[in-house]
Amino acid sequence: MDKSLAIYISRMKEMIGKIEKYTKGIKTFEQFSKSEEKIDACLTPLVQIGEIAAKIDKFFPNELKLPYKDIVWFRNILVHTYHHIDKEMIWHIISRSIPKLKKILNT
């Protein structure tokens, strides 16, 4: 594996770890939506994951089977619609998509 790709993957795993840390013990959307601090804490790692995915797709497009377009699209939503963040969408990504991404990165 290319050293740069390994660094990108490592950084993405680090961001996933932060999201897991920030949401530890939260099992439902209701719990998540009541904690502005947890929501805010998760936004930066989610944006970073999108940035990293865009770089992997650009420089190593055939190395990983990631849903690049979806990840980058969500990053763009977070960055460009800062005036209205959809908490349910964030929770869906955190609770469903992040575990899938983690599994792909660990294979």
State pTM to two decimals. 0.91
Per-residue pLDDT tens over the stretch 46-80: 999 999 999 999 999 888 889 999 999 999 998 88
82 pLDDT band, cuts 50/70/90, is: low
Long-range contacts of 84-93 (CB under 8 A, 24+ apart): 85/39, 85/43, 87/29, 87/32, 87/33, 87/39, 88/29, 88/33, 90/32, 90/39, 90/42, 90/43, 90/46, 91/29, 91/32, 91/33, 93/46
Question: CATH 1.20.120: does it fit domain 3-105?
Answer: yes
